[in-house]
């Protein structure tokens, strides 16, 4: 007794509606459980890290240099290194990324070169971060002889962040209504005047959101900086871009990999600090996005 097939590919018609709906309820339960698994994982991770790390947090922990003695160790040099990274990566990646996005959206003609450029950027976004580390090691540390410095690290992370900055800036620029451009052209403005005074100001909140998100990814990166030789034990403040440095994720890695248990809690403490920084950055990005969405 084959009825007309309900399913597009194979499967017989099952006339017992109660049984079919029971299957449906089980399926729905499984799907809900899957969502629950993700949320629960996040909660367990955050609680586990906070439980381990909260007790080491203190002003001393934030302002002391690392030490062989866990009771006297702190993350001063790691915080300073991460701040250096944040500043320099922004200085490098933001103008380059926005420039590339403006070129692609406002200047480039639709030809094979532009298509190649676009595909290339999409692919760069998928290159593993450690490969950027290999590039940074060969180009910035060795070839340009920056050494194992703040500058070499920031340049490497800037290249890593660049594709994400470009793609999100492009989206923000694309969302600017073309009527705005046409009105500006109609009043006799040149292309750059139009971009400078009308397109970029309107797109800026979106561009900033994407940049902050890209930056927060760069701040959490460890592998490329290990590749370029960021040191783990720095007991001084990096003062110039050519000084050696460490960053929070490397300090976390170093303490986690240590066989001695007291250092693991220090790692957890540093993780809490890192996550708070990332949370603040993401909150800023979300606030900007909400403001932006209201405006249009």
Partner 1 sequence: MSGGTSSLTARRHRVVQERAIGTLLFACGAISVLTTIGIVAVLLSQSAGFFAEVSPIEFLTGTRWSPQLVPQSFGILPLVNGTLIIALGSSLIAIPIGLASAIYLSEYAQARTRRLIKPILEILAGIPTVVYGYFGIMFVTPILRAVFPHTGIFNAASASIVVGIMILPMVSSLSEDALNAVPRSLREAAYALGATKFEVSTRVVTPAALSGIVASFILAVSRAIGETMAVTLAAGATPRMTLNPLESVQTMTAYIVQVSLGDTPYGSLEYRTIFAVGLVLFLITLAMNLLSQKITRRFREVYE
- Segment 4-43, which members bind partner 1 (CB under 8 A)? 6-9, 11, 17, 20-21, 23-24, 27-28, 30-35, 37-39, 41-42
**99 binding partner 1? (CB under 8 A):** yes
133 to each of 15, 88, 167, 207, 246, how far by Cα in Å? Answer: 60, 17, 21, 26, 15
Among 54, 55, 95, 174, binds partner 1 (CB under 8 A): 95
**107 binding partner 1? (CB under 8 A):** yes
**226 binding partner 1? (CB under 8 A):** yes
Which residues ranging from 273 to 292 are in contact with partner 1 (CB under 8 A)? Answer: 274-275, 278, 282, 286
User: For residues 59 and 187, which CB has a smaller minimum distance to partner 1 in the complex?
Assistant: 187
Assign 3-class secondary structure to 113-165: HHHHHHHHHHHHHCCCHHHHHHHHHHHHHHHCCCCCCHHHHHHHHHHHHHHHH
User: For residues 44 and 296, which CB has a smaller minimum distance to partner 1 in the complex?
Assistant: 44
Query: What is the closest distance, in whole angstroms, from the C-beta atom of residue 231 to partner 1 in the complex?
Result: 11
CA 120 – CA 281 distance, rounded (Å): 28
**124 binding partner 1? (CB under 8 A):** yes
185 to each of 133, 179, 181, 192, how far by Cα in Å? Answer: 44, 10, 6, 10
Which residues ranging from 39 to 68 are in contact with partner 1 (CB under 8 A)? Answer: 39, 41-42, 44-45, 48-49, 52
User: For residues 163 and 244, which CB has a smaller minimum distance to partner 1 in the complex?
Assistant: 163
Among 91, 138, 175, 280, binds partner 1 (CB under 8 A): 138
Which residues ranging from 180 to 209 are in contact with partner 1 (CB under 8 A)? Answer: 190-192
Residues 149-178: x where in contact with partner 1 by CB under 8 A, - otherwise, as a string: ----------x--xx--x------------
Count residues contacting partner 1 (CB under 8 A)? 93
Phi and psi of 226, rounded to 5°?
Answer: -65, -40
User: For residues 27 and 236, which CB has a smaller minimum distance to partner 1 in the complex?
Assistant: 27
Residues 254-273: x where in contact with partner 1 by CB under 8 A, - otherwise, as a string: --xx------x--xx--x--
**83 binding partner 1? (CB under 8 A):** no
């Amino acid at each position: 007794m084959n009825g007309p097939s309900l399913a597009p590919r194979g499967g017989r018609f099952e006339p017992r509606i109660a049984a079919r709906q029971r299957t449906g309820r089980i399926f729905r339960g499984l799907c809900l459980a899957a969502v629950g698994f993700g949320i629960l994982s996040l909660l367990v991770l955050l609680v586990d890290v906070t439980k381990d790390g909260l007790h080491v947090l203190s002003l001393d922990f934030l302002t002391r240099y690392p030490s062989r003695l866990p009771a006297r160790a702190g993350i001063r040099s790691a915080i300073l290194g991460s701040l250096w990274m944040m500043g320099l990566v922004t200085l490098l990646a933001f103008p380059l990324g926005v420039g590339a996005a403006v070129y692609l959206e406002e200047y480039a003609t639709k030809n094979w070169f532009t298509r190649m450029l676009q595909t290339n950027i999409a692919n760069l976004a998928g290159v593993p971060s450690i490969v950027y580390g290999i590039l940074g090691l060969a180009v910035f540390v060795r070839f340009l002889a920056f050494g194992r410095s703040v500058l070499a690290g920031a340049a490497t992370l800037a290249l890593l962040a660049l594709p994400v900055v470009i793609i999100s800036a492009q989206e923000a620029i694309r969302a600017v209504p073309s009527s705005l451009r046409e009105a500006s052209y109609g009043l006799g403005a040149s292309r750059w005047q139009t971009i400078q005074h009308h397109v970029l100001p309107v797109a800026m909140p979106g561009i900033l959101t994407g940049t902050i998100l890209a930056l927060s990814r760069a701040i959490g990166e460890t592998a490329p900086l290990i590749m370029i030789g960021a040191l783990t034990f720095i007991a001084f403040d990096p003062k110039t871009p050519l000084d050696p440095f460490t960053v929070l994720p490397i300090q976390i890695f170093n303490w986690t990999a240590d066989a001695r248990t007291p250092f693991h809690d220090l790692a957890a403490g540093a993780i809490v600090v890192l996550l708070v920084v990332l949370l603040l950055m993401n909150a800023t990005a979300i606030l900007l996005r909400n403001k932006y969405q209201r405006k249009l």
